Chains A and B, each alone.
Chain A
Amino acid sequence: AQSVTQPDIHITVSEGASLELRCNYSYGATPYLFWYVQSPGQGLQLLLKYFSGDTLVQGIKGFEAEFKRSQSSFNLRKPSVHWSDAAEYFCAVGASGAAGNKLTFGGGTRVLVKP
């Protein structure tokens, strides 16, 4: 069965500093990987996704993520954080085949941005 681990429950970063959120997955086949952001009381917004091809994926809001098969990781990065990036971030892996878009989510990383 697939699983996703986000080792950092909370991260505090200063505005303007860089941010990296870790994600490790376990999946038997080629993974389909996603990063979502959730603002308080809101739904999930897709930041970026990896299906195949270039292992460095660009997303919205200046985020990028790198797929490293050898490390089973899909870490999210942003070079310079803005106060509006304070939110909870979820990494997810998708099951292929008949399961459609059934996603397995990590536990999330809550990001706090200091002025």
Chain B
Amino acid sequence: NAGVMQNPRHLVRRRGQEARLRCSPMKGHSHVYWYRQLPEEGLKFMVYLQKENIIDESGMPKERFSAEFPKEGPSILRIQQVVRGDSAAYFCASSPRQGTNTEAFFGQGTRLTVV
């Protein structure tokens, strides 16, 4: 059973471009979480999605950021018109069901560099 797959592992974008980060959850997992880790900091929650639904986006910046988890295919975190401050590692986690008494499994992250 493959783990949580994120791609690309590294992404370089120029200021003003769009960044698309993909996350394929573990088989059988229908809950996906995105976190952002700024340099020298811990992870900060961004958004929680189930298939075709955004459950909690309280950690998402109000502009330029969006996330989806379609019925088919991976979850996508999209950042439009990237700025230098968006440079960070973005981690996806998945779990089989809702509830904190279940473990969320993390991917290896996508490291975004904005130049």
Residues A103 and B45 in contact, CB atoms below 8 Å apart: yes
- Among the listed stretches B11-19, B74-82, B90-98, which one makes contact with chain A, having 4 or more residues with CB under 8 Å of it? B90-98
- On chain B, which size bracket covers the interface? 20 to 34
Residues of A within 8 A of B (CB): 4, 6, 32, 36, 41-46, 49, 51-52, 90, 92, 94-96, 98-108
A-B contacts at CB below 8 angstroms, number: 76
Contacting residues, chain A, for B41 (C-beta < 8 A): 107-108
The listed residue with most A CB atoms (<10 A of its CB), out of B43, B44, B55, B108, is B43
Interface on B for A, CB 8 Å cutoff? 4, 31, 33, 35, 41-45, 48, 55-56, 91, 93, 95, 98-109, 111
Report whether B31 and A101 are in contact in the complex, using a CB–CB cutoff of 8 Å.
yes
| A57 to B41 Cα, complex, angstroms | 26
